[in-house]
Structure 1
Amino acid sequence: YAVIPVRSEDSIPKPLIFQAIKMINQSMCRSPVKVGDVLIENILGTKINIIASRSMP
C-alpha cells in the first residue's frame, strides 16, 4: 500500500495524540487523493479533520 502524508486542520488535544496517531495509521483511503481532501472527519470526536498534505494519483 502507498502511504500519504497527512496533517490535522487544528491542534489535537495532547491527551488524544497517541490515539489519533493509531487511528491515522490504521486508516485507508482510495486514490486519487488531492491536497486538502478530508481523509478522516471529526477524529476521536474532536471536530478536527485529518487532511491530505500531498496528492496521490
Structure 2
Amino acid sequence: MKREDVIITCIACPNGCDIKITFGDDGNIASMEGYKCKNGVTYATAEVTAPERILTSSVAVVGGAFRLASVKTQKPIPKALLIDAVKEIAKVKVKAPISVGDVLLEDLAGTGVQVVSTCNVQAEK
C-alpha cells in the first residue's frame, strides 16, 4: 500500500535539513531528497521505519531532600512504547540518596533499556 510522501526535519546534525521522503507502491522508501549529509539518510530512514526516542521523566523519592528525581532512558526506546513506559515510570518510588547515573529501573517496558537518574538527591536530614 502506497504511503503519503512526508517531509521530516532532520535533527541528526546542526543543518536541520528538510528531507522529503517518497514511498513506492509497496510502501517502502523509493527516494529521499534534501539531506546534506549521510546522517540525514540514516535519521530519516529510522524515523519512518522504526522511530525511537530518549524518554525523560521523573520518579518519586522517599526520604530525600527532594520529592522527585529526574530520570532518562540510557538509550532510545520505540516511540510506540512511550505511553507504556511513562506509566511504568510513574509507579516507581526510590529511596534517597540517589546519584547521577544510578540505575533506577533495569528493563523499561520490556525494552531491555535502563532508566537512570540525571540528578543527585541527598537523604533527608
Fold match by TM threshold 0.5: yes
Structure with the higher strand share, 1 or 2: 2
Deviation at 1:26, TM superposition (A): 1.4
Which AA in structure 2 matches 1:15? A
Alignment match of 2:111 (pick from 39, 46, 51): 46
Partner in structure 1 of residue 8 of structure 2: none
Identity of aligned residues (%): 30
Where in structure 1 are there 5+ consecutive unaligned residues?
Answer: none
Where in structure 2 are there 5+ consecutive unaligned residues?
Answer: 1-60, 62-66
Q: Structure 1-normalised TM-score?
A: 0.93
CA displacement 1:20-47 (0-9 Å, x = unmatched)? 0111111100000000000010111211
1:1-57 maps to which residues of 2 (within 5 A)?
2-57=67-122
Q: Structure 2-normalised TM-score?
A: 0.44
Structure with the higher helix share, 1 or 2: 1
Moved over 6 A (4+): none
Which protein is bigger by CA-based radius of gyration?
A: 2
